[in-house]
Every structure is written in structure tokens, then in C-alpha cells.
Amino acid sequence: MPNATAMRKSFPAGMRAAVDFRLYLITDRRLASGGDLLSAVARALSGGVRAVQLREKDLGGRELLELARKMRDLTSRHGAKLLINDRVDIALAAGADGVHLGESSIPPQEARRLLGPGKLIGCSTHGAEQLAAAEAGGADFAVFGPVYFTPSKAAYGPPLGVEALRRACASSRIPVFALGGIGSRNINEVVAAGADGIAMISAVLAAEDPETAASEINRSVNNAISRHREGQEELS
């Protein structure tokens, strides 16, 4: 009999058709290698990143739109998806692939009404209730965390832990990306807990060589998922 995680993967294919990436890169221009966000993202895309969340919350509308359009050109050249943090208007104006919503954003069902059915909607979640609400609201995927301690999330409280991730993944019918303190030492652990991929900021953007960092992390995630699926098939 399949375990809970294996059963979760059996949801209708249409629900996950657009979520074709395993490494979700979240931007922070203050951490970008060499101080150049576009250059760092370009190198990460060359390393295999296929989804980028533009998350520059302190920028005004015009400046954010200008950056979003440049990022759209960049991601398009690499066949990668671009999601804009929170701003549905910027996503539409820049021709992005969708939006990523936080706790204080509009509900995913409202974002869907504005964006239409062909766009991606991701949601940040920090517990089972938020994950269930994101799923019920029509989100295509969720980011769950922080799983481990990370300085950037320390102000929001203690890490949620792997067991919380495991429970969340077991109950979710949308892909779940683990976030927070994840690196080569624990990728296998979060994938074994049921994560469909990982979300990262500094491990890629702040790396001396974002291309190599992205390539190595992407390979590690895909290998971990392949091994985990093989293990599930043997148990089923």
C-alpha cells in the first residue's frame, strides 16, 4: 500500500502541469554576488534555475516594473518562469508567469480572478492551516518554512522543523517547496519529508559563482527526488 507521501503525488496532473521546476530562486538584490542582481540571476539561470521570484519589496512601482521587465527578458531567454512577489499589477504589466503571495497579500482566489487561469500562483506558508488555505484558494504551489534556522527569518520565530514539513507535505495536494536554512547537508532530509523542491536565496545569489552553486543544488535536489521516488515505488 502506498505511503501518505506517495498518495499525495497522485493528484490530477493538470493541477501541477505548470510547476515544472525543483529549485525556486527568490531574489534579494542586497545579497547578489558582485552587487548586480541581474548578473547574478543570469548566472543562476545558466546553472539550471527555471523559476525566479522577484522579491524586492522596498522598490516603488515604477522601479519595480522596470526591473521586472528586465527580469522577464532574462528569464524568457532561459525558458524560465518569473513570478512577482505580491504585485499582481506588476506581474500583468511585465508579462510575468504569475505572482507569489504572502500572509498580508490578497487571497489566492482574488489573484486568480485578476490573473486568469493560465498564470502561476505561489503562496508562502508557515503552518498546516495556511497551507490548507492556500490550496483551497487555488494556489498552484506553496513555499513552507523556515524549516531550519536561518538569520534572515530569525525575527519571525523559531524554525518549524522537519516534522512540521513532513506533516504539511503529507496533507497537501499541491507541490510544497521547503525554505529556510537548506543546503547540501540537508537536501535529502527535506525531500524525504515530502518536499517537491526547495526555495533558496543566499545559497545561490550570494555564492561566489551563482552558476556553479545553482547547478550543484539543482542536481542534488533532482537526485534526491529520484532516489526518494525509487524508494516509494519499492514500498508500494
Say what the pLDDT of residue 186 is: 95
Say what the pLDDT of residue 214 is: 98
- What is d(CA 236, CA 221) in angstroms, rounded to the nearest whole number? 22
- What is d(CA 92, CA 83) in angstroms, rounded to the nearest whole number? 10
Mean local confidence (pLDDT), 198-221: 96
- What is d(CA 43, CA 221) in angstroms, rounded to the nearest whole number? 18
What CATH number belongs to 4-235? 3.20.20.70
Say what the pLDDT of residue 6 is: 39
- Taking CB atoms within 8 Å and a gap of at least 24, the contacts of 129-136 are 130/103, 131/168, 131/171, 131/172, 131/176, 132/171, 132/172, 134/101, 134/108, 134/174, 135/172, 135/173, 135/174
Say what the pLDDT of residue 5 is: 42
- What is d(CA 3, CA 10) in angstroms, rounded to the nearest whole number? 11
Looking only at the bridges linking them, the beta strands covering 176-179 and 197-200 are parallel
Whether residue 66 is predicted with pLDDT greater than 90 in this model: the reply is yes
Say what the pLDDT of residue 18 is: 81
Choosing from 153, 166, 167, 215, which is the catalytic residue?
153
Q: How confident is the model at residue 59 (pLDDT cuts 50, 70, 90)?
A: very high
Q: What is the DSSP letter of 117?
A: T
Say what the pLDDT of residue 235 is: 58
3 state SS of 167: helix
Active site residue 55: yes
Q: Who has greater pLDDT, 230 or 37?
A: 37
Active site residue 219: no
Active site residue 153: yes
Mean local confidence (pLDDT), 81-105: 97
Q: How confident is the model at residue 11 (pLDDT cuts 50, 70, 90)?
A: very low
Whether residue 16 is predicted with pLDDT greater than 50 in this model: the reply is no
The pTM is what? 0.90
Choosing from 55, 87, 119, 166, which is the catalytic residue?
55
Choosing from 81, 112, 119, 124, which is the catalytic residue?
124
pLDDT tens-digit profile of 19-43? 999 999 999 999 998 899 999 999 9
- What is d(CA 127, CA 129) in angstroms, rounded to the nearest whole number? 6
Q: Could you give the percent of the chain with pLDDT greater than 70?
A: 89
Alpha helices (H) along 47-161: 61-77, 88-94, 108-115, 128-136
Residues 180, 186, 189, CA angle at the centre, nearest 5°?
A: 105
Q: Could you give the percent of the chain with pLDDT greater than 90?
A: 83
pLDDT tens-digit profile of 143-180? 999 999 887 666 667 899 999 999 999 999 999 999 99
